[in-house]
Structure 1
Amino acid sequence: MINLEQGGRVLVDEQILTLSSIAHQHNGVEFSVDQNIVTVELPSYNMTILFDGNTAHVAVFHFFLTSTRTN
């Protein structure tokens, strides 16, 4: 379980992670913090979460592949 708290504090499985502006990877999830805005990247879900202590912004990226046939 991941908890994002005010002041840039992050708990993963009830353990506090010490974050910096350099991304820190934990169980395939990347965490970083810059001026108390926590960034969480979940590459396997194509998802990024930004949390400023009050509001979480969630971005989910979907990629669609198309093929063009030429004869």
Structure 2
Amino acid sequence: MTAEDELDVLKGRIAKAETEMEAWRASGPQEKYLEAFCNVESLENRLDQLLRARAPGAAPDRPLAAGV
């Protein structure tokens, strides 16, 4: 999987997680909403890491873990 592919997959996962989070916020128990919120935050942090690693002059990072 290329870096671009990984970014696209991650963006799709974020969009799906945000939809799920909003559904739980509107109609579900607070625990489920908070769990979904944390999932969105985690995915967004991962996306930020990937984007920073691609920035010009970025220091080499450890290898990306598959499926994270």
- Relative to the length of structure 2, the TM-score reads 0.22
Higher strand share: 1
Identify the structure with the greater helix proportion. 2
Structure having greater relative contact order (Cα 8 Å, sep ≥ 6): 2
Larger Rg: 1
